[in-house]
Structure 1
Amino acid sequence: MDLEMFHKAVFVIMFVIFVISNYVIVYKFIQISKIKKEINRSSEKEAYKLITKLKDSMWILDFGITSGPLLGLLGSILALIESFANLAERGISNPVVISKSIGFALVATAFGICLALWDLVFYKMLNDMIRNIREEAKLIFAGGN
């Protein structure tokens, strides 16, 4: 069974999630800056509608946080299975080959963890910004300016 193709597919999937996550991050920063300006000019109902829109697509970052390590682990497992199958065919005589195979397999786990950490940092940051905007809107509409 050629698991190398599946291992590469896991990397492609993680890369696609990374690209989509970065798009969401940039989009959210732009959206937040626009909404901050619009809150002062809008009615209370419109302001809360705008703030609610900020939560849209945050699930994509949450998905990256959750799926990154799992996909990385899957990639590592597939690479290890492929490596051990190749070693079994050739015989286990060279520890350098084993070390390279295991090192290559762990790259997928590292990439998955990096993806999750990247998404987590921005997920927390954006959630804090959204919470601050919500609190600011409460003060504005309560008359506390």
Structure 2
Amino acid sequence: MEPSELLARARKRAANPSDPLDTLAAANELSQEMTRDADALIDLAVRDARAAGTSWTAIGDRLGVSKQAARKRFTRNFTHPFSARKTRRAAACSFCRKPPNPHLHMVYGEGGRICAECVALAAEIVADKAKTR
């Protein structure tokens, strides 16, 4: 679309088309809408490229940015293959590193977490220490 056509659209949207500042405000609003639409278009195209198996390197090259920059910008819209694993590891027992699961109870504290198995082991150690005193 030509800039003159866009200006005509902005004038139609302006509260007072004869006021250049109203036209400017309408043009700014139109520009922001078009930017959002353009970003959404690029996001969809990247999603299609990734679904087709295109590498982040190739996507970055085509967009004129590094692989890392492309990945950082567009992975917000994707579920990263390692994100679930990182989340599970972050919630793992601070002592034995076992990830949480429905059969392993975790006690969460301010500085970390401990699973029921480590609590039982710690209780045994404390009991043994108490016996030797």
- TM-score, structure 2 normalization: 0.30
Greater relative contact order, per chain length (Cα 8 Å cut-off, separation 6+): 1
* Structure (1 or 2) with the greater strand fraction: 2
Larger gyration radius, structure 1 or structure 2:
2
- TM-score, structure 1 normalization: 0.27
